[in-house]
Structure 1
Amino acid sequence: MRVCYLIQSHKNLEQIYRLVSTIKKSSPDSLVILSHNSSGSDLDIARLNDMSGVQVFFGPGGRGDFSIVQGYFDAINYLFSQNINFDWLINLSGQDYPTQPLSQIEKFLATTHYDGFLEYFQVFSQESHWSLREGHTRYCYKYTKNQLLGKIPEWTKELLTPIKTVNYIQPFFRINLAYGMVGIKNHTPFHENFICYGGSFFCTLSRKCIEYVYDFYKSNPEIIIYYRNVCVSDESFIQTILINSRLFNLCNDNKFYFDFSGSRHGRPRYLTTHDYPSLAQSHIHFARKFDINQDRKILDMLDSRILATSQVSSCNANSS
């Protein structure tokens, strides 16, 4: 069995190199696809060429728009166009990290009866993890990037928060300071047989799930056009396509740990050594997000856990 790890990154180069290295040490036969937004930082390809099974792409990045979804499907297109063998695809950001040996995760995937692991919920319902207003604001408006809003520094956005009051007093347009976007009320493609689902972008999907979403992506241009113009399409597109198909046995658990307590603008807080007991739980496969400049020790602690088993396995293989 072979797992493909797709990493979409944009900053903290040392952390990116470390993540790729840890994955390859813990799972030597895996394939790593690194999709890097070079506008944030320049990647040193030479540091990655020494590792086999690592493919690097460069592409545009962005928050809130379709670019991250496009990068996901560009990677899938590469896998299928090159006839690359894989059984599961796990997507990560450059600020994510495994929390246990990949051999254990891959053994779990080899024996599971599920076809995929992802968080999902109906967006326009009481079960939604977001408010109904948030769901409508994201997916019932057609958005465009606003150059003026996009150039506003983060600290200035806090001062401009009162501007968002306009979103609460009329239904015709929305201003999103976090993503620098303006939206106009729009029709949606959803109905009782095609429900809008939401959830975390980060998931673990079997090859047959990937084949289905890729075929859907190529065959339904009107849905793609719709999702290209909403806000935060990455937190709805894959869920909506897979759940509405009713073809797969999907576990409503993406096996990720993240903590949004005290967070702002939809970003989970950075994890530290204090979070290690939570990260070490056996049902957690990955966590986000980390910053090596804020707390390097937590990655050292995770590496000790991840690589210890890999090193033992390597020693056993060499002695047999």
Structure 2
Amino acid sequence: MRLAYLVSSYRSGDQLGRLLQTLRRNDPDAEIVLLHNGFENPLDPAVVQAVGGHLHLVTAPVVWGDVSLERERHRVLRWVLAELDVDWVVTLSEQDYPVATAAALRARLQETPAEAVLDVQPVARTTDPVTARDVRRRYAFRYATLPRWPGGVRSPRAVRRAAELLAALVERSQPFVRFYLMPTGTGLPPKVGRRAVPPTAPDGARYELWWGSAWFALSRRAVAALLDRIDTPEGGALLEFFGRTVIPTEAFVPTLLAGEPGMVLERAALHEIRFSDPASGRPDEFGADDLGHLLGCGRFLARKFAPGDPVLDALDAATAPAR
């Protein structure tokens, strides 16, 4: 089995170079494909050339969690299908790092009867009430972006709290309009949305909305099915629908693949991610104290890590190929 690692990045420092070098050391036969946001940070192509990788720069600025990243991923996935001989595509970011051997990851994907491994679930069947409320607000409304003030990351805490109370009051008073304050760590302005329903699937029914992690693994067939569906009128309508939702990167791919006839999905996580402050929109940074947990968690990648953290050296020693 041959993998392609599709890495999304917006920084260009030592952390990115180290990740690419580690992927190459751990999996010498893999393809390494970097999708880099050069609008924020230029990248020396030699960083990618040094590991025999393939560099793709985004064609337009990418916004956190926005459909802009989704569109850029689709473009690069088309290139992967056309140019590379790989069996699976594994997505990750520059702040991820391997926590298991590449051989273990390949064996995990070899053994699954599924064609896609995603940590996802249907929106309507989300059981935690707080999470269920949030994802319904994300994907059952179509949003427009408001000016940054009030409630943005640079707002005083009292202003942010006032904006949260106003949004809650609006939500309790009627079911048709919602205000959505983006996570504080993103620095993005709030949104206002009206209730909407997803477009029609090929069989005439409404798409069932799914959501979950934006980091997953797709077989070659799943990538081809995803791109083929995007090229249909209903797939294009679904992408346009998600373009007006909140954080579509966590919902578009699972929704489309779950509605693909004959597509077998395995709902499982390949990444270890920990959120102790979900309101921030940012996962925790793992450190040396987490080494035992990371090596025993049963995952294959983890996010995220601070540049140069000593835990990376320990992970290198644990995940290096046997000689």
TM range (shorter): 0.7 to 0.9
Unaligned runs of 5+ in 1: 313-320
2:193 to 163, 184, 205: 184
Q: Shift in Å at residue 221 of structure 1?
A: 1.6
Q: Which runs of 5+ in 2 are unaligned?
A: none
Q: Does 1:62 align with 2:31?
A: no
- Aligned position for 1:37: 37
In structure 2, the residue matched to 1:237 is 252
In the TM superposition, residue 159 of structure 1 has moved relative to its aligned partner by 4.4
- 1:103 alignment partner in structure 2: 103
Q: In structure 2, do the counterparts of structure 1 residues 271 and 154 end up closer, same or farther at CA, with 3 Å as the change threshold?
A: farther
Residue 69 of structure 1: how far off its partner (Å) = 1.2
Q: Distance in 2 between the 1:265 and 1:207 partners?
A: 34
Structure 1 CA distance, aligned partners of 2:182 and 2:259?
32
For residue 298 of structure 1, what is the aligned residue in structure 2?
311
Cα distance change on mapping 1:197 and 1:168 into 2, 3 Å: same
What corresponds to 1:138 in structure 2? 138
Q: TM-score, normalised by structure 2?
A: 0.86
Question: Residue type of the partner of 1:173?
Answer: R
Q: Indicate conservation of the 8 Å contact 2:98/2:315, yes or no.
A: yes
AA of the residue aligned to 1:11: R
Distance 1:125 1:65 in 2: 24
Match of 1:79 in 2: 80
Decide which moves more: 39-48 or 1-10.
Answer: 39-48
Q: Is 1:121–1:128's contact at 8 Å kept on the other side of the alignment? A: no
Contact 1:190 1:196 in 2 (8 A): no
Alignment RMSD = 2.4
Structure 1 stretch 65-74 or stretch 150-159: which is displaced more?
150-159
| Cα distance change of structure 1 residues 56 and 190 upon mapping to structure 2, 3 Å threshold | closer
For 1:280, what is the secondary structure of its paired residue?
A: helix
Cα distance, 1:242 vs structure 2: 1.4
2:122 is aligned to 122
Q: How does 1:149-298 map to 2 (within 5 A)?
A: 149=149, 152-154=152-154, 156=156, 159-170=159-170, 171=175, 172-178=177-183, 179-189=188-198, 194-219=207-232, 220-281=235-296, 283-292=298-307, 296-298=309-311
CA distance in 2, matches of 1:186, 1:264: 23
Q: Which amino acid aligns with 1:189?
A: P
State whether residues 2 and 29 of structure 1, in contact with CA within 8 Å, keep that contact through their aligned partners in structure 2. Answer: yes
Q: Deviations over 1:86-134 (max 9, x none)?
A: 1101000111111112122113323432222111112123436853321
| Change in 2 beyond 3 A, CA 1:253/1:58 | same
More displaced, 201-210 or 168-177? 168-177
Task: State the alpha-carbon separation in 2 of the partners of residues 304 and 207 from structure 1.
Answer: 31
